[in-house]
Structure 1
């Protein structure tokens, strides 16, 4: 992979959404690496520190959920790197949004905003 393009790690357990979001991100000129579980995403980050520039993370997944992944990334910058994490979810609960930001989220987007250009606009803030 060339570092001419920014690398985005997407962690999303719904395969159709994972593919859709990956295509949108790639169309913005980014390189994507995709995982359908939080655990696999964290394993990749720990073995490939410095490769990923931004993490796009679903909140509600089987196994290790998005908030757990977010907290792990933010609690261990020496292991995972100092990465911006964009939460991408269907949940608009003020309590969940507050918890995500308190846990270290850089941004919080609803999946409905993706098709309106919200995701690529948000990625551009961190590249």
Structure 2
């Protein structure tokens, strides 16, 4: 992974993309890069924590699959929140937004995106996260 620490923050923001399906990671990464973001990927919750720890100073947002074997999305969400309480996390799921949000109590995700991703929807949700912090 080659992160450019001198990239223009308004045009090049790093997203940690987490999904246990390699094809989803590849497509998601291509979409995010086309939208001007740098991307760090992880195939599991455990790998997501490792990648976050390695690139935490660059990562501005996480797109996290809710349903994964092993350390699932909810456990990964909790672990990431412990490492960085204000990190914007967008949960990706085939479930409805209400079904996803009902799994979280006081500490809810920044947003929920339906899978499979639609380019415009993914772009809008990530842009909303980054502009909220600007």
What TM-score, normalized by structure 2, do the two folds share? 0.82
State the distance in 1 between where 2:58 and 2:105 align.
Answer: 24
Structure 1: state its 5+ residue gaps.
none
Number of matched residues?
123
Contact 1:8 1:33 in 2 (8 A): yes
Contact 2:40 2:51 in 1 (8 A): no
Higher helix share: 1
Whether 1:31 aligns to 2:34 is no
The equivalent residue for 2:110 is 106
State the distance in 2 between where 1:100 and 1:30 align.
Answer: 28
State the distance in 1 between where 2:82 and 2:24 align.
Answer: 28
The equivalent residue for 1:42 is 49
Q: Which one is further off, 42-51 or 29-38?
A: 42-51
Please report the RMSD computed on the Cα atoms of aligned residues, expressed in angstroms: 1.8
The equivalent residue for 1:125 is 128
State the distance in 2 between where 1:57 and 1:51 align.
Answer: 17
> 1:64–1:36: structure 2 CA closer, same or farther, 3 Å change rule?
same
Whether 1:16 aligns to 2:27 is no
Q: Which one is further off, 114-123 or 6-15?
A: 114-123
Structure 2: state its 5+ residue gaps.
none
